[in-house]
Homo-oligomer: A and B are copies of this chain.
Amino acid sequence: MPKKKEVHPERTRIGDRIARWTIPREDILDLLIRTQQHLTAKEIYAALNPLNPDMGLTTIYRTLELLDTSGLIRKIYTGDGQARFEYKRADHADHHHHLICSVCGKILNYRDFEKEELDLVRKTEEILARKHGFLIRDHNIEFLGLCGDCRSGGKRSTIPGR
């Protein structure tokens, strides 16, 4: 049976921004939903190419921008010169932040202290709105440091700027 997928329910979340729900869009969103990693455009391309060799890199970039603008995915800058993407669940079920190793670039998700953090964030958002008229839509928290491997290894990074 050839590829024959149901349209993902999330598709409705971008209904007003989009006219046609296509195979590339379905495949890219699908991949991001399934993976735990933070993928770059090229990684997505590499992952989907075997399944759909006709999909070009341009489409990946365009689709990622569409999904990001629509709030379905999040664009992350970890400082290695390329943007990464992760799926953003509507229900905050996977609310987490990042732990980035400055040496090897590894990214860990962390999920502890959600409640306290959310209290703090909410409070901050209130103040910011009052003080600067800023409407908060999202926040990022990231910790930079050395992962276990790089701490013990003590080796130098080959990544420039790290």
Interface residue from B113, B127, B136, B146 paired with A124 (Cβ < 8 Å):
B113
Nearest-Cβ distance from residue A124 to partner chain B, whole angstroms: 6
**Most B C-beta atoms less than 10 A away, residue of A102, A134, A142:** A134
A102-137 residues with Cβ-Cβ distance < 8 A to B are: 102, 108, 110, 112-113, 116-117, 120, 123-125, 127-128, 132-137
Interface residue from B112, B132, B135, B143 paired with A136 (Cβ < 8 Å):
B143
Contact A134 B147 (CB under 8 A): yes
Residue A53 interfacial (CB < 8 Å) = no
Whole-angstrom CA separation of A102 from B77 in the bound complex: 14
The 5 closest A-B pairs by CB, nearest first: A133-B148, A77-B77, A136-B145, A138-B144, A135-B146
